[in-house]
Amino acid sequence: MECKISADRILVNETVYEGTAEQAVDTDFTLPDFCPDIGKIFKCDAAARLTSKNVKNGKLHLEGTTKLTVYYLDSVDKKLACCTRDIPFSKEIAV
């Protein structure tokens, strides 16, 4: 009697959450010494990137980083400058 074993991948795509979620960005933004001082802020931009996602016990767990960019006017030379910072975040959503 011959026993054949085969290993095949089975991929399953299933939507576990359809909706939107918000995460507040609450952080202190201290400029490094080599950056000029802020005279006036023109724009702040936040771009999120997920690094981990999983579903456990009926909850969707998300982790990632937010790249925060601040565009501002230099207080001394009146030139446009910017500074960026990566801020980690985590979010839990009931599914």
The answer to whether the CB of 66 falls within 8 A of the CB of 47 is: yes
**Residue 88 pLDDT:** 93
**31-42 burial, b for 16+ CB within 10 Å, e for fewer?**
eeeeebeeeeee
Residue range 33-71, pLDDT digits in tens: 778 888 888 899 999 999 999 988 889 899 999 999 999
Number of other CB atoms surrounding residue 90 within 10 Å: 11
Q: Is the pLDDT of residue 87 over 70?
A: yes
Q: Give the confidence band of 1 by pLDDT, cuts at 50, 70, 90.
A: low
Q: Is the pLDDT of residue 10 over 70?
A: yes
Number of other CB atoms surrounding residue 80 within 10 Å: 10
Instruction: Return mean pLDDT, the chain.
Output: 86
Q: Which residues, 6 or more positions from 11, have their beta carbon under 8 angstroms from its beta carbon?
A: none
Upper half-sphere CA count for residue 15 (Cβ side, 13 Å): 3
Residue range 74-83, pLDDT digits in tens: 888 888 988 8
